[in-house]
Amino acid sequence: MTVAPPKVVPIVDGHTDVLLDLLHPNRNPGRDFFARGAAGHVDLPRLREGGIGAALLACFVPDDDVANGRALIETLRMVDLFRRLVAEGDGRVTHVFDPAGLRACLDDGVFGAILHYEGADALDPDLAVLRLSYDLGLRSLGLVWSRPNAFAQGVGPQDTGQGLTGAGRDLVRACNEMGVLLDVSHLNDAGFWDVVETTTRPIVASHSNSKAISPHPRNLSDDQIRAIAENGGLLGLNFAIGFLWPDMGQRTDLPLDLMVDHVAHVADLVGIEHVAIGSDYDGARVPDAVADASQIGRLVEHLRLRDFTEPDIAAICHGNWLRVFDAVWR
Ligand SMILES: [Zn+2]
């Protein structure tokens, strides 16, 4: 009798920054999304090797461009790049707009690209750019990166402790209505609680960990994790070593056990249905054990070793993301 090897469980990755290196080749030369490379963490061959069936691809604008008034043009350049990856993928990459499209990707092995803005810097308070972005395929929005904008403030040195502005609350309501997922990673504490109070749909912290284990300001307190769970949302496990180590250190020899500890903490606190994966590949220094997208299966294997069941693992890898998108997207 032969025993079938465990089926590869498809993964939805809640956060990757691959577009940034592709748009700015001088940041990390030699990147090609369609060729297996050694630079950076993500390309299509390595996503496939890792079993990553879909991911939120972040459009991020560097500080200098925001300061120079170029947030909108730089965001549109990233949207254009995203759409060119889909077009040039020749059937290997699909732009995912809805839950059916996401499920199809997880079933048939075509990579599903979900368009995400990491920060609302490009948006205007009248929300014209939000409406146009939706038509271009935007389905997920982080209110801020780690800096202030017209809507909210991010964690970091410029945080004055203020919550959402009036325009910020309007933006939350508009995203609820249009079916754009709201992401609270990078948001400051006051803004977080304003979003929780305002939103009528599930929210996510796409790439944040537990402060109870690693007290980094980018991570969430147990109270915040409980609020996300009550709201029906989720936390995506961020692979950034500084958000994983209890001393927030930068050593890359981080054990898989510590990554699983963060997953287990959320699962013990609020249930397995509120924890998922948001690697931050190409946006952070990550553990050697999951050094690029092709290695992510080692985390899944380690969940098995720590006695997570197959249904638990399916929930963490993609089921929880599907539930949230079902509840948010129209
Ligand atoms: Zn980020």
Beta strands in 171-220 (DSSP E): 181-183, 203-205
Q: Which domains does the chain have, with CATH numbers?
A: 11-328 (3.20.20.140)
The predicted model scores a pTM of 0.97
Residue-wise pLDDT tens digits, 214-231: 999 999 999 999 999 999
Q: Name which of 236, 229, 283, 277 is nearest 118 in CA terms.
A: 283
What count of Cα atoms within 13 Å lies in the side-chain half-sphere of residue 212? Answer: 15
Q: Which contiguous run of DSSP H or E holds residue 67?
A: helix 63-67
- Residue 267 and residue 225 in contact, taking contact as beta carbons nearer than 8 Å: no
**Number of H helices and number of E strands within the chain?**
13, 9
CA of 186 to the centre of ligand 1 (A): 7
Residue 7, pLDDT above cutoff 80: no
61 C-alpha to center of ligand 1: Å? 11
Q: What are phi and psi of 304, to 5 degrees?
A: -60, -45
Rounded mean pLDDT, 131-140 = 98
For residue 187, list its beta bridge partners: 154
- Give the Å distance between the CA of 5 and the centre of ligand 1: 35
Tokens of 21: 């290196």
How many angstroms separate the alpha carbon of residue 218 from the centre of ligand 1? 9
**Each residue's pLDDT tens digit, 25-38:** 898 888 999 999 99
pLDDT tens for each residue of 147-189? 999 999 999 999 999 999 999 999 999 999 999 999 999 999 9
Q: 101 CA to middle of ligand 1, Å?
A: 25
Strand partners, 67: none
- If you measure from the C-alpha of residue 255 to the centroid of ligand 1, how many angstroms do you get, rounded to a whole number? 22
Averaged pLDDT of the chain: 97
287-315 pLDDT per residue, tens: 999 999 999 999 999 999 999 999 999 99
Q: How far is the CA of 185 from the centre of ligand 1 (A)?
A: 7
